[in-house]
Amino acid sequence: MHNKSTIEEIEARFDKDVARFSNLETGQQTTLDASFTMELITDGIAAMDPHPKRILDIGCGAGNYPVKLLSKMITNPDITLADLSQPMLDKARERIQPLTTGMVQTVKGDFRTIPLEENSFDAIIATAVLHHLRDDVDWETAFARLYHLLRPGGSLWIFDLVAQEHPAIQGLLFKERYGHYLASLKDATYRDQVFAYIEQEDSPRSVMYQANLLKQAGFRSVDILHKNLCFASFVAFK
């Protein structure tokens, strides 16, 4: 665990990768069902609350999810964007501000500690970000913070790399099946490069671990939306 990338190292990698994360059609190519899940989550937010006032996107990257969400909104919510990378935040604001008359605020830093108003957000988007958490304390702190940031009745929408509880199933779904997918994108060398930075940067947990922890944090219910191999999307309601 102590050999994992630091927050600063992860920030530096994403600073150099803005263009790849600005593709609304493909999203992150290494992420299974990226476009499908973006549609699913943004449709879900719009269905849950057609007139949201405040949306928070943590680890927003170049802003794909708010861009897609605002195309489905008839109102103009305020959007708060949080990310480690300033270049990502700059690109996200550039893309999102023309789409809403609401305020677009960017906040650079770790979502667990940056200044954000509690009990104020109608929906929080957390896509491809929580897998960067480390030990149980990190996960508990993160879910507690997200719970307190939501207004009563608000919802948290997660899409992320997940682990499997059983080592044999982890090997099958991640190393074998997901590995085959990565190799099909380019070649075995590319697959190994992706596996290497996942090993260096990421500490994913299982869907059940996260669902149970969300309940412990105070969320009243959790719904699983979609799972394909080692990627899953789910929503929690305050």
Query: How much is the pLDDT for 15?
Result: 45
Q: Which two tokens stand for residue 139?
A: 């996960």
Q: What is the mean predicted confidence (pLDDT) over 144-173?
A: 97
pLDDT tens for 219-231 read 999 999 999 999 9
In a domain, 188, yes or no: no
Query: How much is the pLDDT for 4?
Result: 64
Residue 5 has pLDDT above 70, yes or no: no
In a domain, 187, yes or no: no
Q: Which of 28-37, 65-74, 81-90, 161-170 has the lowest mean pLDDT?
A: 28-37
In a domain, 224, yes or no: yes
**Three-state SS annotation for the chain:** CCCCCCHHHHHHHHHCCCCHHHCCCCCCCCCCCHHHHHHHHHHHHHHHCCCCCEEEEECCCCCHHHHHHHCCCCCCCEEEEEECCHHHHHHHHHHHHHHCCCCEEEEECCCCCCCCCCCCEEEEEEECCHHHCCCHHHHHHHHHHHHHHEEEEEEEEEEEECECCCHHHHHHHHHHHHHHHHHHHCCHHHHHHHHHHHHHHCCCCEHHHHHHHHHHHCCCEEEEEEEECCEEEEEEEC
Residue identified by tokens 């609350």 is 49
pLDDT mean across residues, the chain: 90
Distance (Å, rounded) from C-alpha 116 to C-alpha 122?
A: 13
Query: How much is the pLDDT for 50?
Result: 87
In a domain, 183, yes or no: no
Residue 237 has pLDDT above 80, yes or no: yes
Residue 3 has pLDDT above 90, yes or no: no
pLDDT tens for 42-87 read 999 999 988 999 999 999 999 999 999 999 998 999 999 999 999 9
In a domain, 181, yes or no: no
In a domain, 114, yes or no: yes
pLDDT tens for 180-209 read 999 998 999 989 988 998 888 888 999 999
pLDDT tens for 14-25 read 544 545 454 555
Query: How much is the pLDDT for 16?
Result: 47
Query: How much is the pLDDT for 8?
Result: 60
Number of domains in the chain: 1
Task: Report the predicted TM-score, pTM, of the whole model to 2 decimal places.
Answer: 0.89
In a domain, 180, yes or no: no
- Say which residues have a Cβ less than 8 Å from residue 11's Cβ, sequence separation at least 6: 84, 85
CATH number of the CATH domain containing 210: 3.40.50.150
In a domain, 75, yes or no: yes
Alpha-carbon torsion 111, 204, 225, 29, what sign? positive
The residue segments making up the domain with residue 53 are: 7-164+204-237
